[in-house]
Amino acid sequence: MICKIPIKYFAFIIVLVFASIIFLVSNSEIVFAKKDKDDEDKKEKDKDQLVVNAQINLNNVDMKNTKFIRVTAFINGEDFKQDIPISSIDKSKKKLDVELKTDVENDIVEADTPDEFFVCAYQVGDVLKDYKSLTKFDCNEGDILSTSKPTGIELFKSGSQVYTKSQAVYAAHLNSNVNDPNSDKVKIKILAPLADKKGTEKLVIGAMIKGQIQSEVIEDVQAELDKSKDDTISRTFTFDRKTDIGLIQVGDRYHACVAGEDLRPPEGSECEKRVIKQFDKPNSLPAR
């Protein structure tokens, strides 16, 4: 027996099916439109991002005894600090790429070539066991090569002499009073001579030692220059000698950067480095 559906119900079913199709198509269009917009927003945001790709040579990393790699950096007036567990690294790879991103433009400086930056990496193992030793590290400075594509920099490459030079200074002072383990503070004085840039309005000064980084924004440079006898802005950063990755030692390398839009030309960000030589008075470094 064939069941006949009344025409009015049949018409209702047709309308219902048609409405469902329209609803699904409309929602699909909304989903795809949202996805397209999200993709466009991401591309637009990426255009405004400055990227530094730090390549760590894993062949020169003690993968067995290292628990994590600490990466610190100062790029375009911004400071970075990141710990990468060894357990998260693909052991089959020869290099580890660490992508460091910041805005091309902030309220202090707009990145451009050839602005300077630095990146350091520390191999951190058994901190308690190695606390008084010189933690294995490498540092490298570079220039921003482009604001539209990543700038690369290498760490722990075979030819690096950074750690070797620090070891030599550390060994020479190992048993001296200078390397007194009872000293509990390290002072780093950063100088920014501005005789050639007296119109500078705003600056940021940053310093890094033993995987620790500090920075300060000078909002009114002109007010400080009015009090200065030699057109120099300075900041002294005090670090605890006891850090979470070991004791700061004579020979440990420190970096400093000064950034501000009014510093160009030549660069909106300038960086320099030295090694710690004393604990009883500030370790001084002109950063530009």
Q: Write out the two tokens for 90.
A: 């693909």
Domain boundaries along the sequence of the chain: 49-286
Q: Residue 137: its pLDDT value, please? A: 98
Q: Write out the two tokens for 210.
A: 């033993």
Picking from 20-29, 31-40, 70-79, which range would have the lowest pLDDT averaged per residue?
A: 31-40
Q: Is the pLDDT of residue 116 over 80?
A: yes
DSSP assignment string, the chain: -PPPPPHHHHHHHHHHHHHHHHHHHHHHHHHHHHHHHHHHHHHHHHHTEEEEEEEEEGGGS-TTT--EEEEEEEETTEEEEEEEEGGGS-TT-SEEEEEEEEESB-SS-B--TT-EEEEEEEEE--TTTTTTS---EEEEEEE---SSSPEEEEES-TT--HHHHHHHHHHHTTTSGGG-TT--EEEEEEEEE-TT-TT---EEEEEEETTEEEEEEES-HHHHHHH-SSSEEEEEEEEESEETTEE--TT-EEEEEEE-GGG-SS-SEEEEEEE---SSSPEEEE--
SS3 149: coil
pLDDT band with cut points at 50, 70 and 90 for residue 177: confident
pTM as predicted: 0.83
pLDDT band with cut points at 50, 70 and 90 for residue 92: very high
Q: Residue 224: its pLDDT value, please? A: 96
Q: What rounded mean pLDDT belongs to the chain? A: 90
CB-based contact 72:208 (threshold 8 Å): yes
The string of pLDDT tens digits covering residues 119-176 is: 999 999 999 999 989 999 999 999 999 999 999 999 999 999 999 999 999 999 988 8
The string of pLDDT tens digits covering residues 14-31 is: 656 666 666 655 665 555
- Which carries the bigger pLDDT value, residue 280 or residue 205? 205
